[in-house]
Amino acid sequence: MEPFADYERHDATGLADLVRSRRVHPLELFEAAARRIEALNPRLNAIVYSDLDRARDEAAREPREGPFAGVPFLVKDLGAAVAGLPYTQGSKSRVGYVPEEDNEIVTRYRRAGLNILGKTNTPEFGLAAVTEPELHGPTRNPWNTDLTPGGSSGGSAAAVAAGMVPMAHGNDGGGSIRMPASHCGLFGLKPSRGRSTWGPDHLECWLGLAEQHALTRSVRDSALLLDATHGPAPGAPYRPTPPERPYAEELGAPPGRLRIAYTTGGLLDDRPLDPECVAAVESAARLCSELGHEVSEARPALDIPTIVDAFVTLSGAEGAFEVAESERLTGRKAGPGDVELTTWIIRVLGHKRSAVQLDQALDVARRLGQTMAAFMDRYDVLMTSTLALPSWPIGEGELGAGQRALLQVIGRAPTGPALAAVVKQLAGEILRPMPNTHLCNLTGQPAMSVPLHWTAGGLPVGVQFIARVEEEGLLFRLASQLEAARPWWDRRPKLL
């Protein structure tokens, strides 16, 4: 069957409408997606595990049900097990592990009618802001293939931006949906804590910091997909209040006159943002004012060093847990050569910090939630730049020979002062490009990156909007209004 010629002109909702009305067959959609994957993935390295034969059979199957029946889709190789496909999470320590069953989020994708074509690239265990794992190599940004699409959902973002699929799975433990959305000119929402599921293998991820959702081109795709997939698994520790109405019904609904606070600085880093990111926020502030919202410059008072140290502790715990999970799943003992050097140092940190320090870090997160709740009593939305700078060159963050030698020494014999100095340096380097995304993972608030700005060189720059816990509906109403006022649909990278 010939590919659907207008495949890239429709979002996932539009493609599903065409399938439902029988104007387009899912095989036509599959062929269009497969052709684009064949042409573009060798240049972008977005997809690391392909399942096209099974997906072709699925496209030919009847009947087709669900809100996204027949629509091609990709799953990130982190946080989502797909039966029969490798599940490495970007790590050599997981090579050889192939799950026999889908986990719950993938089951919900299939129930929604999505046709899963494969799995996308991710940094090792999602621990980096770029998608450059040693196992699979770097994913490239479709807007400029010398640049990163960000991480950790960088493979998914690159695939959507390149038009391989209209939307793709992602997850977010420190900005991993919002950051690649900013780099790739996409819409990316991180839901409230507990809104998505990690079951049945885990009932939470990253100690409650991470949530599952997707990278999309349109706001309505994000809303309709969240309608189809939200809800905690039985026994989950967080059970947010169900939405009053479907998220799709929020689209086009008046958001009201919102009280929007904005800052052109970094929430968790005092260094100034790139001028393009400042311009993005200032332009978005003017747009929101023109749309009738009450816009003022304000920011919460935060104890940055304490918050950053707490996030480092939680990251260390997660890094140590993931390496231990590799050992459990594969039956192999993991050594320094089985994971990347930075990951090994994060693992060492996880082992060195005490249970008391972990509890203190969680308490910092809880108190930060109180601080933000008080701030959000005065404002409906907090607006920031998603990132501190536009996309940067691939390999820019690679360790130098001296840094690598120092980390290897510390990895073998981690002394307290040396480890503390290295951790402080790594934390500073990690937070430099992304000082605004981690906060919502710590507090559990929903946040979205909206593609409202492009640089003179044609690179997208996202603007982040943060709402109160459980107020995804408000964000969808605002996003729908912004999408109508400053549409981004026709802005596409010219790869072909």
Q: What is the pLDDT of residues 328-375, one digit of tens each?
A: 999 999 999 999 999 998 998 899 899 999 999 999 999 999 999 999
In 3D space, the residue among 170, 176, 262, 287 whose CA is nearest the CA of residue 221 turns out to be 170
pLDDT for 417 equals: 73
> Which residues, 6+ apart, have CB-to-CB distance to 77 below 8 Å?
48, 49, 86, 87, 88, 89, 90, 119, 120, 121, 122, 155
Amino acid at 371: T
Residue 95 CA, distance from chain mean position = 23
SS3 138: coil
Look at residue 298 and tell me whether its pLDDT is greater than 70: yes
DSSP state letter for 23: S
pLDDT for 14 equals: 98
In 3D space, the residue among 191, 157, 126 whose CA is nearest the CA of residue 44 turns out to be 157
pLDDT for 415 equals: 61
Which tokens hold the place of 100?
A: 């026999």
Mean local confidence (pLDDT), 457-484? 98
Q: Are 452 and 482 in contact, with CB atoms under 8 Å apart?
A: yes
Phi, psi of 180 (to 5 degrees): -65, -30
Look at residue 475 and tell me whether its pLDDT is greater than 80: yes
Average pLDDT over the chain, rounded to an integer = 94
Strands 294-297 and 460-466 come out as unpaired
pLDDT for 402 equals: 64
Q: Are 135 and 326 in contact, with CB atoms under 8 Å apart?
A: no
Mean local confidence (pLDDT), 146-157? 98
Look at residue 235 and tell me whether its pLDDT is greater than 90: no
Tens digits of per-residue pLDDT, 379-436?
A: 999 999 999 999 999 999 777 776 676 566 666 666 667 677 767 776 667 778 999 9
Cβ neighbourhood burial of 328 (10 Å; 0-12, 13-18, 19+): exposed
The label of the residue with tokens 């200032």 reads 282
Tens digits of per-residue pLDDT, 92-132?
A: 999 999 999 999 999 999 999 999 999 999 999 999 999 99
Mean local confidence (pLDDT), 18-23? 96
Q: Are 170 and 153 in contact, with CB atoms under 8 Å apart?
A: yes
In 3D space, the residue among 488, 494, 495 whose CA is nearest the CA of residue 218 turns out to be 488
**Active-site amino acid positions:** 76, 152, 176
Separation CA 138–CA 304 (nearest Å): 31
pLDDT for 307 equals: 94
**pTM value?**
0.96
Tens digits of per-residue pLDDT, 369-387?
A: 999 999 999 999 999 999 9
Tens digits of per-residue pLDDT, 302-315?
A: 999 999 999 999 99
DSSP state letter for 455: -
pLDDT for 428 equals: 67
Look at residue 167 and tell me whether its pLDDT is greater than 80: yes
In 3D space, the residue among 117, 150, 127 whose CA is nearest the CA of residue 49 turns out to be 117
pLDDT for 474 equals: 98
pLDDT for 65 equals: 87
